[in-house]
Amino acid sequence: MMKHKFWASYLLAALAFLPLEPVINTQVLATELVSQLAQAKSAYTQYMQLGYNETRRRNYRKALLNFQQAERARPGDRYATSAIRNVTSYIQRSKNRIAFVPSRPGRVRSAGTRGGCFQTGEDIIPLTPTDKEAQRTTAEHPTFFFYVPQTFTTVQALEFVLRDDDSTDPDALYKGTFKPVKQNGIVSINLPADRASLQIGKGYNWTFSMICDVSNRDKDSYVKGTIVRSQDENLSLQLNQPSTDLDRAVLFATAGFWEDSLRTLANLRRQRPNDPEVQKYWEDLLNSVEIKEVVNKPLLPCCTVQQ
């Protein structure tokens, strides 16, 4: 027993004299790594805020330089890369007030079927830039816009359905049936405030249908797509600064938030229908994503839920 105690004391004494350099080096490396990450985050945040600020002032070349610096601090960041794409488009299209460049280029109409309601060559057009990617929004309860063409027979109803992308539950998060419109134009459907808010980072599938025959839904004409709610803290800080609605529309488009930018300009068109500046922004935004055919279509007073 005394022998064991002696060797234990000896080992403890020997350990006390072992070099602490590996432990110290590990701690130093960890501290340096944390410091570098903090500096990178600080630089990214600083450059993104400067970029948004210059965008709001329409100093697009300065904005581009700051967004590029932000992307260097955080390579592949989706907010920085979206801003770089859109600000570059502003510079290239020197006469444009606003533009939107999807990350997956190419305008492809959302899938749908053509029933017996439409005049030749017409169909529903969703006011979204592409069906190859989800449109992004900051809104808890976003608004969806669709161009509805003239029909030669009476449409019995319009229907909008929103579902959780990940859910296996067949029940929709929201399903609204609306009175049909009597002319061609752009209709808007708001996700009601009394429904559950969209969750940040989660995808949702939507379908918009024109019901031509309630007894045969196979004749419906419909479009579909996806939407995801995102949050950019640097954009939020910039939006809290004094700015006009047109400034906000440009900031949303620059950051890649299509729904917010479109909704802001649509609201301005309703409030100021004869304002040529608002009309110019509206035209530039829709032309940038190749939806030229609906630029001059009226915003219709729709939609009222059917009882």
The pLDDT tens digits for 2-20 are: 344 444 444 444 434 445 4
Cβ count near 238 (within 10 Å): 23
Asked if pLDDT for residue 178 goes beyond 70, the answer is: yes
Distance of alpha carbon 191 from alpha carbon 209, whole angstroms: 16
State the DSSP H helix or E strand holding residue 229, giving kind and residue range, or none if neither.
strand 221-229
pLDDT at residue 17 in the model: 47
Give the model's pLDDT for residue 113.
52
For 228, phi then psi, to 5°, come to: -140, 140
Distance (Å) of CA 28 to CA 15, 36, 133, 137, 187: 22, 12, 44, 42, 61
Task: Work out the end-to-end distance of the chain between its first and last CA atoms, rounded to an integer number of angstroms.
Answer: 91
Q: What's the rounded mean pLDDT across residues 235-246?
A: 90
According to DSSP, residue 203 is labeled: E
Is residue 150 predicted with pLDDT exceeding 60?
A: yes
Q: Find the angle CA(28)-CA(30)-CA(34) to the nearest 5 degrees.
A: 115
pLDDT of residue 114: 54
Confidence of residue 118 (pLDDT cuts 50, 70, 90): low
User: What domains can be seen in the chain, in order of their start residue?
Assistant: 2-92 (no CATH), 125-294 (2.60.40.10)
- In terms of average pLDDT, the best of 12-21, 100-109, 155-164 is 155-164
Amino acid present at 170:
P
- 137-167 burial, b at 16+ Cβ within 10 Å, e below that, comes to bbbebbbbbbbbbebeeebbebbbbbbbeee
Helix, strand, or coil (residue 169) = coil
Q: How high is the pLDDT of residue 145?
A: 95
Stretch 21-50: mean pLDDT: 62
